[in-house]
Structure 1
């Protein structure tokens, strides 16, 4: 009698592999970063941060960018430690799937319930990057990017301990910000959002 096949646990690397493998790269850089993350997962290396800020020196994180298609605006937070205007986000814990990280961090950082945007109706990430962080403890963030559906009229209770400011910004304006004001890959992410929205005409990816 064969052994029963157990479903993957939330933190299993197979879950993360499937999420990353399902991302369709928009350019050569994203294709390279996607391949890098898949090889890293397959290597057996630790995926999750054990000791802040940089152990192991490469670990899995999430960004989730609130977006309102009606006003074509995105919501950013002014991160105290980074000194940059960034999408909200956080480190993936070893006992949770990355989407659960998004749900947890959206509640902790913004006081909102995470709702996937129509561009990502199946709760999969829309974009992946591998980026060195700034500061004295620089390390590599393997980042899964989500787009959230949020109405600007909704009350947001951002965490003042972590953020010195927050608010909505025109997407096209943010896409043109100079280096050093936000994450260096945010402009590429917003270009992908525009590309997919234009392609589908309805703000949802056709699979």
Structure 2
């Protein structure tokens, strides 16, 4: 394993699974990492490699119990911000970069810490469908602040109450993530 792959495997081993689904995703990701060093997406069509690493940046206002999601242009879903980890980049560095690029903020990992809280494996929607192995990082936000998301990625942003669970069409694992976030 390359040093980058070893570092990602260590991150993943540090995640305590919420449930059997997350445990399965963790085991699947570790098996994937043990069999390849080709884990970083390259700009090409179709997606190369077909399975690659993502850092989600989930903006949460814990005082207001709210979550910021963006209306993602390509998928048509309300998603946390984030993106593909670049070749050789550590997933935490990717989360910091994505927070800056997509939200225009300096990431504050003061809600649950700087380690990823959650891991999912999801097949994306759209014409360039691929499999994302996603590490979910939690970043502190403030509901009173207006966030201007990258218009190339998101058409608008909206805060959602964590307690209402009346969430929009989103990542299929968002509800489970919120269960884990609430427990954390």
Fold in common (TM above 0.5) = yes
Q: Normalising TM by the smaller chain, what interval? A: over 0.9
TM-score (normalised: structure 2): 0.93
Aligned partners of 2:66 and 2:159 also within 8 Å: yes
Structure 2: how far apart are the matches of 1:134 and 1:161? Answer: 17
Deviation, 1:106, is: 0.6
The range that moved more, 21-30 or 147-156, is: 147-156
Deviating beyond 4 angstroms after TM superposition, the runs of 4 or more aligned structure 1 residues are none
Residue correspondence of structure 1 range 165-184 to structure 2 within 5 A: 165-173=156-164, 175-177=165-167, 181-184=169-172
Secondary structure at the counterpart of residue 127 of structure 2: coil
Name stretches of at least 5 consecutive residues in structure 2 with no aligned partner. none
Q: How far does residue 47 in structure 1 lie from its aligned partner after superposition?
A: 0.4
Given the two structures, how large is their TM-score scaled by the length of structure 1?
Answer: 0.83
Deviation at 1:176, TM superposition (A): 4.3
Alignment counterpart, residue 41 of structure 1, candidates 23, 29, 33: 33
RMSD: 1.6
Distance 1:60 1:86, change over 3 A: same
Q: Once the 2 structures are TM-superposed, how far is the Cα of residue 45 of structure 1 from its aligned partner?
A: 4.4
Residues 62 and 89 of structure 1 are in contact (CA less than 8 Å); yes or no, is this contact kept in structure 2? Answer: yes
Q: 2:144 aligned with 1:186, yes or no?
A: no
Deviation string for 1:123-163 (max 9, x for gaps)?
Answer: 11000011111112221100000111112233423112221
Residue 110 of structure 2, aligned match among 107, 117, 130? 117
Unaligned runs of 5+ in 1: 1-7, 197-207
8 Å Cα contact 1:176-1:187 kept in structure 2: no
Instruction: Work out the number of aligned pairs and report it.
Output: 182
Query: What does residue 76 of structure 2 align with?
Result: 83
